[in-house]
Amino acid sequence: MLPDYDEFKRRADAVRSRIGDACSRAGRNPADVELLAVTKSQPALAAEYAARYGLRAVGENRVQEAVAKRAQTTAAVAWELIGHLQSNKARLAALHFDRVQSVDSARLLEILDRESGALGKSLPVLLQVNAGHDPAKSGVEPAEAPRLLAAALGLKNLRVEGLMTVAPLSGGADSARRAFASLREIRDRLSADSGAPLRELSMGMSADMDAAVAEGSTIVRVGTALFGSRA
């Protein structure tokens, strides 16, 4: 059940404090790490909470769920797709999302580019890399990342802003940190080779955001720590 706003604010303050502490340990500026409120499986009111607290954006996993919720709220936040995107929902995603973080194939890039062009918009995207080599997770394998980036940079209606990953389900904290370090290394190499800035590293969630910040995350995707268990 969604907490009341005062409880949400207390939790958000605590998450901000965690981010700040992790940045302090890593010698980073907390202003360089964005808190993305993950509102999947929460009511539309969760987006209102995020906006009221001053967060820039919310993250959703399912296209149609997000479209319905966005229609129910006037929250002044951006909407970002962080879940796996099927090609048959790419048109809806291009229309209703302000950024797609989970692009993991050249085919999906082509469809998003075409649909964004038809809408007259430039769509920001992140490329999802399976940095932890987890067969249960989406994303291209690290060896395929250069090819995916090259395909993305050749499209005129997409703006590649960085990379995204989800830590492996197994292996615990050490496995998660290795995946985050791997994504940072992949980003640095791709940026140097291509000349693309690739500023964003979207990695880390409620359980592993500290390790993600230590390894350079610029966006932590947090749901449970803000809203409690999902319905």
Q: What distances in angstroms separate CA 130 from CA 149, 163, 179, 180, 200, one per listed residue?
A: 14, 10, 8, 10, 16
CA 21 to chain centre: 21
Looking at this protein, which amino acid is placed at residue 69?
K
3-state class (DSSP) for residue 98: coil
Predicted pLDDT at 171: 74
> What distance in Å separates the CA atoms of residue 20 and residue 11, rounded to the nearest whole number?
14
**What pLDDT is attached to residue 182?**
97
- Looking at CATH, the fold of the domain delimited by 5-227 is given as TIM Barrel (3.20.20)
Maximum Cα interatomic distance, the chain, rounded to a whole number of Å: 48
Q: Report the pLDDT value the prediction gives residue 36, as an integer from 0 to 100.
A: 98
Residues 205/193/111/124 CA torsion (nearest 10 deg):
50
CB < 8 Å & 24+ apart, contacts of 116-121:
116/157, 116/158, 117/156, 117/157, 119/94, 119/95, 121/94, 121/157
pLDDT at 229: 77
Assess contact for 42 and 8: CB atoms under 8 A. no
Q: Which residue ranges of the chain lie beneath pLDDT 50?
A: none
Q: What does the pLDDT read at residue 94?
A: 97
pLDDT at 231: 54
Contact between 202 and 163 (Cβ < 8 Å): yes
**In contact, 84 and 102? CB cutoff 8 Å:** yes
